[in-house]
Chains A and B, each alone.
Chain A
Amino acid sequence: MTWVIDNLGLIWSLTLKHLAQCAVPIILGFLLALPVGWVAHRYTRVRGVVLSVVGVLYAIPSFGLFAVLASLFGIEYLSPTNLVVALTIYAVALMTRSVADAFDSVDDDARQAATAIGYSPVRRFFTVELPLAGPVLLAGLRVAAVSTVALATVGILIGVENLGYLFTNGSQRRIIAEVLAGVVAVGLMAWVFDLILVALGRVLLPWNTQAPRAARTRRVATA
């Protein structure tokens, strides 16, 4: 505990770095997964292929990916850009399936009703399908956000500083409190991200009061 109190400044600055490195991949990953997942939902033929390719992305060991990206795209080896690109790839890998499931969960009757009263496909997508897919989209986004915050710590293995620094530094200096502080700080940040997403969900999806349970069972049924 004394270690934590003595090093609050360090923990806070690492937290801010961690925050910046996670926010971009979560947002970017969602924006990229949206069209890919929609394609998987809309075209049954490519669904299997898209979802398995995306599944394999997740199996690439993270710190191998960070390092390879550096050499492939000529990004500075120790640059956080490396980490951000890799985390975005993982976020897409995590969210694509739930995006596909989310659009699957939209009731076909609603879709057909929209077409029947003359909605164009684009308008139908933005005003009917997207809002109705919202609850399941949010569930997928929450999982991806929490995982991204935890995964980012691996960045320290290629030298990108964030809360993961507390793990390697604590390990080298044999300070258990430091490692534990890192784990707790990451957990807290994941929790805060999750709270923000839930709050956003309340604001953006006011009709989603009873839906989560139903959406979850529907998602399970189509999985």
Chain B
Amino acid sequence: MNLFLEAFAWIFSPDRLEGDALSLPANIGLHLWYTLVSVLIAAVIAVPLGWWIGHTGRGRNVAVVISGMARAIPSLGLVILLVMLMGVALKGPAAIVAFVVLAIPSILAGAYSGIDAIDRRTLDAARAVGMNSWQVLLRVEVPLSLPLLIGGLRAAALQVVATVAIAAYVGLGGIGFFILQGIQTRRFDQILGASIVVVVLALAIDAVLALLQRVVTPAGVRIRLTQARAAAVATA
């Protein structure tokens, strides 16, 4: 427990505000920036692709295989490799590419499984009332799939926020800088303090997305979910 007290003392020490680029707030900002940019780019790539897979039912197996392969790529190795290939001047973009690769599988899975999970009768009904393919996608499939899509975004954001810490190894700063420095100097209060900051950041991002997930869940789906849960409780 003592170590935890020391870690909090490290976080709230006035020294953390000193040294501009070396201050804790500046590195938290940088950490958040890398996370947001990476998840957004990954979403721009994966969401339309996922919706296309879910809507047409085509390419699902390819998506599963590619997602599995992406999971097997070690982020540390990919960051280092891309920085070497793209040059040290472009180490920021290089790291972001690696984080995008990390974030894509979860978001892609969220996008297509959200559409997969929709009751087929709902889609038949949409077609029966005369909606064309685009209308079915935009007015029925997309709204109904949003909760699972945001679930995918939550998973991706959690992974990226923890992995951005690795960026410190190639000299990109972020909260990982303090962890790496702490490992080199054996300052456990600093390592734990900085790790706690990352976890708090992850919790905050997750809470915001959880709220968003609640907001975007269509009212009808929410009622059905509550009923399903009640039914589950009743039979349990």
Name A residues whose Cβ lies closer than 8 Å to a Cβ of B.
42, 44, 55-56, 58-65, 67-68, 70-72, 77, 108, 142-143, 146-147, 149-151, 153-154, 156-158, 163-164, 166-168, 170-171, 174, 176, 179-180, 182-183, 186-187, 190-191, 194, 217, 220-221, 223
Contacts and interface: CB of A to CB of B under 8 A. Distances in A.
Contacts of B233: 44
A220 B229 contact: no
Given A60-B198, A64-B165, A153-B76, 13 more contacts: A44-B229, A59-B206, A61-B175, A68-B188, A157-B183, A167-B74, A167-B81, A168-B169, A171-B80, A171-B170, A182-B77, A223-B117, A223-B151
Contacts of B85: 176
Contacts, number: 151
Given A67-B182, A68-B191, A108-B235, A220 B73 contact: no
A29 to B, nearest CB: 15
Interface stretch (B11-19, B123-131, B155-163): B155-163
Interface of B: 3, 68-69, 71-78, 80-81, 83-85, 113, 116-117, 148, 151, 158-159, 161-163, 165-166, 169-170, 175-176, 179-180, 182-183, 186, 188, 191-192, 194-195, 198-199, 202-203, 206, 229, 232-233, 235-236
22 contacts: A55-B206, A56-B203, A56-B206, A61-B163, A61-B175, A61-B198, A63-B176, A64-B165, A64-B198, A143-B71, A157-B166, A157-B169, A164-B74, A171-B84, A182-B77, A183-B81, A186-B73, A186-B77, A187-B73, A194-B68, A221-B117, A223-B117
Contacts of A150: 71-75
Contact of B199 (A56, A67, A168, A182): A56
A60 B151 contact: no
A7 to B, nearest CB: 16
Contacts of B199: 56, 59-60
A157 to B, nearest CB: 7
Q: A-B pairs with the 4 shortest C-beta distances?
A: A64-B195, A59-B202, A190-B72, A61-B165
A153 B170 CA distance: 15
